[in-house]
Chain A
Amino acid sequence: MQTIKYILQKEFRQILRNKTLLPMMFWVPLMQLLVLVFAATFDVKEIKLTVVDNDMSETSRQLVSKFDGSTFFNLNNAMQHPTMAEELLLEGSTDIVLVVPSGLEKSLIRGNTAKVQLLVDAMEGNTAQLIYSYSSQIIHQVNRDIMAEQVKVSNSNQLAQINVHERYWYNDNLDYKWYMAPGILSVLVTIIGMFMSGLNLVREKELGTSEQLNVTPIKKYQFIIGKLIPFWIIGLIELAFGLTIAWIVFNLPVNGSLLLLFGFAGLYLAGILGLGLFISTIAHTQQQVMFMNFFFMLIFILMGGIFTPVESMPDWAQTINHLNPVYYFMRIMRQVILKGSDFADLLKEFTGLTVLGIFFLSMAIWSYRKTE
């Protein structure tokens, strides 16, 4: 026990001595948290709309003004010819072109097909989907208005209508920052856990001080604990720091139990520290450690659902995610923070993290050799 205490003292002293690395570990990620949470949003506003109205009828004007009046669209341009409008799409100066063919109103009155064309810039899939959905809704509204007028005129059957009410739970403002902040916090914790601890170990290897340690009667497990605990603590501190800042700046609530959150964070950290440690035992240079950590981290993070939903991923990816600790942690963070989920709701994640954690730690302990 005493030995561990001394080892920890040494570790902390070394870490604090490294004047450049310590502030970087704290400030760089936190700055990124702030800036990037503000940047990451899929909200679509001020969609640039170009109209090509070849009908110039009352109906078409009704349609166009409905688009114009919508808060989502900005009617920027009116063109005479579709090809000119397509040019705008190529340049990127418009997001969507509405083409109203001539004879639209006449077709409607006669009861023939009346079609308008929507040309959408689909380079960004998500934006395109939303643009299309909003456009469809506007067209639907115009159709309802047309029908309502007809009904008044002809006194025929009542127009049936289904009212759809949307309720957004846990985030009624659809504030994208509330989605990104827990995600980016997970990334920060992961960086500390995997990168820093791994680098630390290999640095000692390169500097030769780990050789010196190996000659001492320090047992393997003591050495490993000594390496893991400081970063475990630092990781948790960073999480706390990050959460506080997120609360102050983004009003991010923590609807669930803080104890549960940090408990899971501790579990998660232990696991990925083990992974980081394992990687550094099989690498010989700092460069290799960096590369391997980077490789795993990027894959874990992107597959873990930080930016794009796991639900949209192909089935094989969703299956592989069961081996991805970041996937579990990301879910835990978002559910506890936004929904107040409790332990019973998160059993799956708990099991996953525990199994993976034990696996990584065992691999680390097994592969670390005092003599090489």
Chain B
Amino acid sequence: MELQGEFVFDGSREEVWELVRDPEVLSSALPGTQSLNQVSESEYEGQMTMRVGPVSGVFAGKVVVSDEVPPESYTLAVEGRGAPGFAKGTGHVQLVDQGDGTTLMKYEGDVQIGGKLASVGQRMLETVSKSMTRQGLETLNQALQARKTAEAEGREVEYTPPSETEFAMSVARDLAGEVFSPQHRTVWVVVAVAIVSVAIGFWLGRRK
């Protein structure tokens, strides 16, 4: 399954790159993340709880980062497996300076989904993944704004990401048919999003 999409951050490319260096911010952008561990220079392992319609369970994921070109691009190879099934994919993330103080994130990749997640969760996958992508990226952008405000005012960053419940409620709302803004109409698959996002976190964790 092919995946691609775009998201505009209200910040410079360096700021976004900096943001996605912060694993705590990233893992909070996707509630359900249980652990992140670096196992080698470019390899990370983590666990996350997933729920897609009737299918839920713990996923164990592995991420390998390669081809880093700061602050422009990087490639991820992700693999996750658990009782609900498995996901395996590669993704390429690119940050483009738009010259107006905003940064365009472009992502594309290919993912295979298998097991119960594919066979029973199929009809929910697209909506749930769209919803999670939208929320994950919006949360990141809000974290970025909070960080910028704090910097400008010279105080501690005060930002509380949405709780797992709020996040789940939002997914449910989207599933119930709330529309997405056109810029988020991307065919993302939830696991890929989750793992890719967690992966960004792993990758950042190592830069700290």
Does chain A bind chain B? no
